[in-house]
Protein backbone atom coordinates (compact mmCIF):
# COMPACT_ATOMS: atom_id res chain seq x y z
CA UNK A 1 0.00 0.00 0.00
CA UNK A 2 1.64 3.25 -1.14
CA UNK A 3 1.89 6.15 1.28
CA UNK A 4 2.37 9.81 0.35
CA UNK A 5 2.74 12.87 2.59
CA UNK A 6 2.07 16.36 1.22
CA UNK A 7 3.44 18.79 3.82
CA UNK A 8 3.30 22.53 4.19
CA UNK A 9 6.15 24.05 6.20
CA UNK A 10 6.80 23.65 9.91
CA UNK A 11 8.85 26.44 11.50
CA UNK A 12 9.52 24.38 14.61
CA UNK A 13 8.93 20.64 14.76
CA UNK A 14 6.29 18.28 13.45
CA UNK A 15 3.13 17.92 15.58
CA UNK A 16 2.96 14.81 17.75
CA UNK A 17 -0.08 13.47 15.89
CA UNK A 18 1.80 13.65 12.59
CA UNK A 19 4.92 12.14 14.15
CA UNK A 20 2.96 9.11 15.33
CA UNK A 21 1.68 8.43 11.81
CA UNK A 22 5.14 8.85 10.29
CA UNK A 23 6.63 6.45 12.83
CA UNK A 24 3.89 3.96 11.99
CA UNK A 25 4.36 4.30 8.21
CA UNK A 26 8.16 4.49 8.03
CA UNK A 27 9.22 1.08 9.28
CA UNK A 28 12.06 0.54 6.79
CA UNK A 29 14.78 3.05 7.65
CA UNK A 30 17.72 1.85 5.60
CA UNK A 31 18.04 4.98 3.44
CA UNK A 32 16.40 8.27 2.58
CA UNK A 33 16.76 10.07 -0.76
CA UNK A 34 16.24 13.83 -0.40
CA UNK A 35 15.58 15.59 -3.70
CA UNK A 36 16.81 19.17 -3.85
CA UNK A 37 14.72 22.13 -4.98
CA UNK A 38 17.89 24.11 -5.65
CA UNK A 39 20.14 21.43 -7.09
CA UNK A 40 23.14 23.69 -7.69
CA UNK A 41 23.48 24.47 -3.96
CA UNK A 42 25.02 21.70 -1.88
CA UNK A 43 25.58 23.09 1.63
CA UNK A 44 22.84 22.77 4.28
CA UNK A 45 20.29 21.72 1.66
CA UNK A 46 17.60 19.70 3.41
CA UNK A 47 18.87 20.50 6.91
CA UNK A 48 15.49 21.77 8.11
CA UNK A 49 13.52 18.83 6.74
CA UNK A 50 16.06 16.40 8.19
CA UNK A 51 15.75 18.12 11.58
CA UNK A 52 12.00 17.38 11.56
CA UNK A 53 12.68 13.68 11.13
CA UNK A 54 15.55 13.71 13.64
CA UNK A 55 13.33 15.32 16.26
CA UNK A 56 10.64 12.72 15.52
CA UNK A 57 13.17 9.95 16.18
CA UNK A 58 13.06 8.76 12.56
CA UNK A 59 16.71 8.08 11.72
CA UNK A 60 18.20 6.34 8.70
CA UNK A 61 21.32 4.28 8.09
CA UNK A 62 22.08 6.28 4.93
CA UNK A 63 21.23 9.82 3.82
CA UNK A 64 21.46 10.75 0.14
CA UNK A 65 21.01 14.26 -1.25
CA UNK A 66 19.95 14.17 -4.90
CA UNK A 67 21.23 17.23 -6.78
CA UNK A 68 23.61 18.14 -9.60
CA UNK A 69 26.45 16.64 -7.58
CA UNK A 70 25.31 13.13 -8.55
CA UNK A 71 24.83 11.63 -11.98
CA UNK A 72 21.41 10.82 -13.41
CA UNK A 73 22.13 7.13 -13.13
CA UNK A 74 23.27 7.40 -9.52
CA UNK A 75 20.25 9.54 -8.64
CA UNK A 76 17.85 7.01 -10.11
CA UNK A 77 19.61 4.14 -8.33
CA UNK A 78 19.46 5.90 -4.95
CA UNK A 79 15.77 6.60 -5.44
CA UNK A 80 15.03 3.01 -6.47
CA UNK A 81 16.67 1.68 -3.30
CA UNK A 82 15.36 4.33 -0.88
CA UNK A 83 13.11 3.53 2.07
CA UNK A 84 11.83 7.13 2.01
CA UNK A 85 11.90 9.72 -0.78
CA UNK A 86 11.68 13.32 0.44
CA UNK A 87 11.18 16.17 -2.04
CA UNK A 88 12.58 19.23 -0.30
CA UNK A 89 11.01 22.66 -0.03
CA UNK A 90 12.27 25.75 -1.81
CA UNK A 91 12.08 26.60 -5.51
CA UNK A 92 9.20 24.77 -7.22
CA UNK A 93 10.33 25.55 -10.78
CA UNK A 94 13.97 24.57 -10.25
CA UNK A 95 12.93 21.31 -8.65
CA UNK A 96 10.44 20.57 -11.42
CA UNK A 97 13.10 21.23 -14.06
CA UNK A 98 15.56 19.00 -12.20
CA UNK A 99 13.02 16.16 -11.92
CA UNK A 100 12.35 16.29 -15.65
CA UNK A 101 15.98 16.65 -16.78
CA UNK A 102 17.13 13.81 -14.55
CA UNK A 103 14.07 11.73 -15.55
CA UNK A 104 13.25 10.96 -11.93
CA UNK A 105 9.45 10.96 -12.10
CA UNK A 106 9.03 7.35 -13.17
CA UNK A 107 11.54 6.15 -10.57
CA UNK A 108 9.59 7.94 -7.86
CA UNK A 109 6.18 6.74 -9.08
CA UNK A 110 7.35 3.14 -9.33
CA UNK A 111 9.01 3.12 -5.92
CA UNK A 112 7.47 1.34 -2.96
CA UNK A 113 9.04 3.89 -0.61
CA UNK A 114 7.10 6.35 1.50
CA UNK A 115 7.17 9.59 -0.52
CA UNK A 116 7.11 12.96 1.23
CA UNK A 117 7.20 16.52 -0.03
CA UNK A 118 7.43 19.82 1.84
CA UNK A 119 6.04 23.01 0.29
CA UNK A 120 7.66 23.04 -3.19
CA UNK A 121 8.16 19.30 -2.94
CA UNK A 122 4.49 18.71 -2.16
CA UNK A 123 3.47 20.82 -5.16
CA UNK A 124 5.74 18.82 -7.46
CA UNK A 125 4.24 15.56 -6.18
CA UNK A 126 0.96 16.75 -7.74
CA UNK A 127 -0.40 15.52 -11.03
CA UNK A 128 -0.54 19.16 -12.19
CA UNK A 129 -0.02 22.58 -10.64
CA UNK A 130 -0.55 26.19 -11.65
CA UNK A 131 2.47 28.47 -12.05
CA UNK A 132 1.24 32.04 -11.67
CA UNK A 133 2.50 35.43 -10.57
CA UNK A 134 -0.34 35.38 -8.07
CA UNK A 135 1.40 32.58 -6.19
CA UNK A 136 4.76 34.32 -6.09
CA UNK A 137 6.31 33.01 -9.28
CA UNK A 138 8.20 35.60 -11.33
CA UNK A 139 6.39 34.86 -14.56
CA UNK A 140 4.32 37.00 -16.89
CA UNK A 141 1.47 34.61 -17.63
CA UNK A 142 -0.07 31.61 -15.94
CA UNK A 143 0.73 28.09 -17.07
CA UNK A 144 0.04 24.56 -15.87
CA UNK A 145 3.00 22.28 -15.14
CA UNK A 146 3.02 18.51 -14.88
CA UNK A 147 4.26 17.12 -11.60
CA UNK A 148 5.15 13.58 -10.66
CA UNK A 149 1.51 12.57 -10.44
CA UNK A 150 1.62 10.30 -7.41
CA UNK A 151 -2.08 10.97 -6.89
CA UNK A 152 -4.59 12.40 -9.34
CA UNK A 153 -4.98 15.85 -7.81
CA UNK A 154 -3.20 19.19 -7.53
CA UNK A 155 -1.67 20.76 -4.43
CA UNK A 156 -1.15 24.37 -3.42
CA UNK A 157 1.05 24.08 -0.35
CA UNK A 158 2.42 26.63 2.13
CA UNK A 159 0.43 29.62 0.89
CA UNK A 160 -1.27 32.37 2.92
CA UNK A 161 -4.85 31.27 2.36
CA UNK A 162 -6.40 33.23 5.21
CA UNK A 163 -5.73 36.59 3.58
CA UNK A 164 -6.13 35.49 -0.03
CA UNK A 165 -9.01 33.02 -0.11
CA UNK A 166 -11.11 34.72 -2.80
CA UNK A 167 -8.07 35.32 -4.99
CA UNK A 168 -6.94 31.69 -4.64
CA UNK A 169 -10.39 30.42 -5.51
CA UNK A 170 -10.58 32.67 -8.56
CA UNK A 171 -7.06 31.89 -9.78
CA UNK A 172 -7.54 28.14 -9.47
CA UNK A 173 -11.11 28.06 -10.74
CA UNK A 174 -10.29 26.89 -14.27
CA UNK A 175 -7.89 24.14 -13.18
CA UNK A 176 -10.38 22.98 -10.54
CA UNK A 177 -12.84 22.16 -13.31
CA UNK A 178 -10.34 19.57 -14.53
CA UNK A 179 -8.79 18.23 -11.34
CA UNK A 180 -9.34 18.50 -7.58
CA UNK A 181 -7.02 20.95 -5.83
CA UNK A 182 -6.01 20.76 -2.18
CA UNK A 183 -4.84 24.10 -0.80
CA UNK A 184 -3.19 24.51 2.58
CA UNK A 185 -1.06 26.88 4.61
CA UNK A 186 2.29 26.18 6.24
CA UNK A 187 1.48 24.07 9.32
CA UNK A 188 -0.59 21.52 7.41
CA UNK A 189 -0.28 18.03 6.00
CA UNK A 190 -2.15 15.64 3.74
CA UNK A 191 -1.50 11.93 4.05
CA UNK A 192 -2.66 9.54 1.34
CA UNK A 193 -2.39 5.87 2.22
CA UNK A 194 -3.95 3.57 -0.33
CA UNK A 195 -7.34 5.08 -1.09
CA UNK A 196 -7.64 6.89 2.28
CA UNK A 197 -6.83 10.57 2.79
CA UNK A 198 -6.12 12.25 6.14
CA UNK A 199 -5.53 15.95 6.75
CA UNK A 200 -3.83 18.02 9.44
CA UNK A 201 -4.56 21.71 9.90
CA UNK A 202 -6.53 24.01 7.61
CA UNK A 203 -6.82 22.21 4.28
CA UNK A 204 -9.31 23.29 1.62
CA UNK A 205 -10.66 21.38 -1.35
CA UNK A 206 -11.25 23.40 -4.52
CA UNK A 207 -13.36 21.44 -6.99
CA UNK A 208 -15.48 22.67 -9.90
CA UNK A 209 -14.76 26.26 -8.82
CA UNK A 210 -16.18 25.64 -5.33
CA UNK A 211 -14.14 25.69 -2.16
CA UNK A 212 -14.75 23.88 1.11
CA UNK A 213 -12.74 23.35 4.27
CA UNK A 214 -11.97 19.72 5.06
CA UNK A 215 -12.38 18.22 8.50
CA UNK A 216 -9.10 17.55 10.23
CA UNK A 217 -8.57 13.84 10.74
CA UNK A 218 -4.91 13.39 11.68
CA UNK A 219 -5.53 15.07 15.04
CA UNK A 220 -8.08 12.40 15.90
CA UNK A 221 -5.60 9.50 15.83
Domain parsing of the chain, residue ranges: 3-220
Q: What is the pLDDT of residue 165?
A: 84
Q: pLDDT digits over 176-193, tens only?
A: 999 999 999 889 999 999
Arithmetic mean of pLDDT, 139-156: 95
Q: pLDDT digits over 18-52, tens only?
A: 999 999 999 999 999 999 999 997 767 899 999 99
Q: Considering the entire predicted model, what is its pTM? A: 0.96
Q: pLDDT digits over 76-111, tens only?
A: 999 999 999 999 999 999 999 999 999 999 999 999
Arithmetic mean of pLDDT, 53-58: 97
Q: What is the pLDDT of residue 193?
A: 97
Q: What is the pLDDT of residue 134?
A: 86
Closest CA to 157 of 110, 76, 88: 88
Percent of the chain at pLDDT exceeding 70 = 98
Q: Looking at the domain covering 3-220, what would its CATH class be?
A: alpha beta
Q: What is the pLDDT of residue 220?
A: 57
Query: Would you say the C-alpha torsion 49, 159, 135, 146 has a positive or negative sign?
Result: positive
Query: Residue 114 pLDDT more than 80?
Result: yes
Amino acid sequence: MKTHYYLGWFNNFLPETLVRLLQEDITDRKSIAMISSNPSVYEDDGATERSWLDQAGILFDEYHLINHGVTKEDAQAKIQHASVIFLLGGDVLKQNDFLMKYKLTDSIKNSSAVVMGASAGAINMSAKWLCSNTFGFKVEGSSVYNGIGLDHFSVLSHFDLENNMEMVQSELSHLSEEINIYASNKDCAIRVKGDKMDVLGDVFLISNSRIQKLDETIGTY
